[in-house]
Structure 1
Amino acid sequence: MLAAVWLLVLVLAGCAGVPSSSAPQAIGTVDRPAPPSLPKPTPGMDPDILLREFLKATADPANRHLAARQFLTESASRAWDDAGSALLIDNVVFVETRGPDRVSVNMRADILGSLSDVGVFETGEGALPDPGPIELVKTP
């Protein structure tokens, strides 16, 4: 009985030091090093490699995804609003149809989750909804 009383006293004493509320405090920004090597498009890249390198480059949000925008045409870069949330995908498969000056690619992938515009990760699962064909255009 005495041991139970002492245990109760210790538990209550431990809880007495825990605040019931507090104000959040910003710790400031963190300088993160630049990624060691971001992919860049090169002339004559195979469409499969070009798209995979573009997807890798989208992982770096610096300068409004400048590394990824280098893979896009000028009009596609202007049209891309990267301010919203982002899907995190895996097991990406490309199926391509080739023409003389264009390559049309359909993409399949599994969803791992999403990252909100404020950096909150939410898990997800299932197949990526069909984004429609991705048109690759040979630029001069």
Structure 2
Amino acid sequence: MSWHAAFPQPKSTPAEITAQDLGALTGTPGVDYIVIDVRRTDIIGDADAARAMIPGALNLAAQTLYPTLPTAGLLLKNIPTVVFHCNSCKAGGRGQRSAAWYQDWLDAHGITSSKALVLQGGWKAWLEAFPDKVIKV
């Protein structure tokens, strides 16, 4: 059984943002935008490159995001742009699924002050575009 089988299928399809566009965002991280890294065990994987994060990102594992949305949503709802990513953000993967669950939560509560985006290509795309803009964990 898949880790997400116990949770509802997401309804929304959040747009993507490229690593270059994410890197070019201006404003204050955590106020104007925030990055949510939904990796769990692979954030501390065997490869040295895996043991790092995008500066300013929060790690909220996809496996626990859905049941914590009532709290996480309240914390994130006033941040205009919330970018989700996993390792590669493939279709149906953790990054897209998590972003969609957050967008569904926003839509269900009539909240328009925030929107979910998916980092196109995920962590791998960020690392390729910005190998020197990472925080080791």
Q: Same fold (TM over 0.5)?
A: no
- Which protein, 1 or 2, shows the higher relative CO under an 8 Å CA cutoff with sep ≥ 6? 2
Quick check: which one's helix share is greater?
A: 2
Question: Normalising by structure 2, what TM-score?
Answer: 0.23
Question: Rg bigger for which structure?
Answer: 1
